[in-house]
């Protein structure tokens, strides 16, 4: 496997000249808890005429003018800057809201950073990643306000999102702000060797490569540093990922931790779990010297949702071992030479039966279709030569 042409850092879009290119200030803005991802429920004045303050995906505005819900209105007599919607999901929160945080901290340090929560949040606790990310960008708790009920904000500043979902590039001055924050934290940008970001300790119901932990055991024996993001603080993730000379991910939301830091000369690789997936491509390509996605999956096995879709993100992926061995060989790691296929198959089969048990137990989310899903999964097991595991 050659890394020539693996993809240099992407140039910013021509139309992205600067992160502060578009700024607006509004008075008496009504904000409600959000109802669905991509629908922040901010009642922007003259909503349809607004552009950069609204939520976009892949370069297109996707949010709709909210309809005011009944109930009392709280008054927030404060000068605020709009950030986005708090999401319990780590990857969604970072990719859909967080890019405004470091800019607001650098350019509007006197304004409260404003988030809204999802409807029904009630007294639920915030996930630890919320405060950890704000701490990373040095935003003190008294500079943050969460909209948990319908609220009228006296003064609201808004600026164009520096790193919108689905965009191919970011502006240089946004990356400069991230680099400055890295420097303030003393982040090491090289010398970390090869780091593999594993999904092997993640909840099996959320999906992974079957048999990944067997590969991890061998990689560690061969001198590769392996990290498990779910066992680390956000800061620890950022430091370990950023200092790697070669950073290899098992495809998953952990890639978004790298979005919280700036540029480095490292190379990044993603072992796909879903054919053709490009999760994190834009953020990596904007920050690292080279990025490559490895088609490390030969077969996917996943359940169906009520609308008939196959939810590959929470399914199991069987390795394409030729692709896997090729990557590690190119990085100087002779994984194929120490591979015991019988031991791997045992680990792979244990993962598959374990996943089958946890994803079809009673009490699964209502958006899964239990019987059609079971039938589909049984078919996929047989097609993959795993029918004896059923």
Q: Tell me the pTM.
A: 0.91
- The enclosing H or E element of 197 equals strand 194-197
pLDDT in tens, 216-254: 999 999 999 999 999 999 999 999 999 999 999 999 999
Evaluate the CA torsion angle 45, 47, 51, 55 in order and state its sign. Answer: positive
Q: Please check the confidence at residue 311 and state whether its pLDDT lies above 90.
A: no
How does 187-215 read in b/e, with b if 16+ C-beta sit within 10 Å? bebeebebbbbbbbebebebbbbbbbbbb
**Alpha carbons 238 and 258: distance in angstroms, whole number:** 6
How does 141-163 read in b/e, with b if 16+ C-beta sit within 10 Å? eebbbebbebbbbebbbbbbbbb
Domain boundaries, the chain: 23-165, 194-389
pLDDT recorded at residue 363: 54
Mean pLDDT of the 44-68 span:
93
pLDDT recorded at residue 35: 92
pLDDT in tens, 261-276: 999 999 999 999 999 9
More confident site: 371 or 40: 40
DSSP string, 28-55: EEEE--BSBTTB--EE-TTGGG--TTS-
Q: What size, in residues, is the chain?
A: 390
Lowest mean pLDDT among 32-46, 137-151, 163-177, 182-196: 163-177
Q: Tell me the two tokens of residue 6.
A: 């693996």
Mean pLDDT, all residues of the chain: 90
Distance of CA 48 to the CA centre of its chain: 29
Q: Please check the confidence at residue 34 and state whether its pLDDT lies above 70.
A: yes
**Alpha carbons 289 and 374: distance in angstroms, whole number:** 44
| Three-class DSSP category at 381 | helix
Nearest to 361 by CA among 303, 296, 286: 303
Non-local (6+) Cβ contacts of 333 within 8 A are: 194, 219, 222, 223, 224
Q: Please check the confidence at residue 6 and state whether its pLDDT lies above 60.
A: no
What's the pLDDT band for 366 if we cut at 50, 70, 90?
low
What's the pLDDT band for 345 if we cut at 50, 70, 90?
very high
């Amino acid at each position: 496997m050659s890394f020539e042409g693996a993809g240099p850092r992407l140039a910013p879009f021509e139309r992205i000249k600067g992160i502060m290119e578009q700024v607006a200030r509004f008075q008496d803005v009504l904000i409600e808890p959000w109802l669905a991802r991509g629908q922040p429920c901010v009642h922007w004045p003259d909503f349809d005429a607004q552009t950069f303050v609204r939520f976009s995906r892949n370069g297109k505005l996707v949010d709709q003018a909210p309809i005011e819900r009944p109930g009392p209105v709280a008054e927030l007599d404060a000068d605020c800057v709009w950030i986005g919607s708090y999401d319990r999901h780590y990857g969604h929160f970072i990719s859909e809201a967080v890019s405004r945080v470091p800019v607001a901290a650098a350019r509007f340090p006197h304004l409260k950073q404003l988030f809204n929560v999802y409807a029904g949040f009630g007294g639920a606790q915030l996930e630890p990643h919320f405060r950890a990310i704000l701490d990373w960008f040095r935003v003190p708790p008294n500079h943050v306000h969460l909209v948990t009920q319908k609220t009228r904000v006296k003064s609201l500043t808004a600026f164009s999102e520096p790193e919108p979902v689905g965009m191919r590039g970011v502006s240089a001055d946004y990356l400069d702000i991230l680099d400055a924050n890295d420097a303030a934290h003393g982040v090491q940008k090289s010398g970390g060797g090869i780091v593999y970001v594993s999904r092997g300790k993640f909840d099996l119901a959320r999906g992974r490569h079957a048999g990944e932990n067997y590969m991890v055991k061998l990689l560690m024996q061969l001198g590769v540093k392996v990290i498990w993001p779910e066992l680390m603080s956000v800061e620890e993730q950022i430091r370990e990922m950023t200092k790697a000379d070669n950073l290899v991910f098992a495809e998953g939301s952990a890639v978004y931790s790298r979005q919280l830091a700036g540029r480095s000369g490292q190379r990044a690789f993603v072992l796909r779990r879903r054919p053709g997936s490009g999760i994190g491509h834009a953020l990596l390509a904007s920050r690292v010297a080279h990025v490559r996605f490895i088609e490390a999956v030969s077969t996917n096995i996943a359940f169906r949702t009520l609308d008939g879709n196959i939810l590959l993100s929470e399914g199991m992926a069987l390795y394409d071992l030729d692709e896997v061995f090729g990557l590690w060989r190119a990085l100087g790691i002779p994984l194929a030479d120490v591979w015991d296929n019988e031991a791997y198959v045992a680990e792979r089969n244990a993962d598959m039966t374990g996943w089958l048990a946890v994803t079809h137990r009673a009490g699964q989310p209502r958006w899964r279709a239990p019987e059609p899903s079971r039938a589909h999964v049984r078919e996929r097991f047989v097609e993959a030569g795993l029918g004896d595991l059923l």
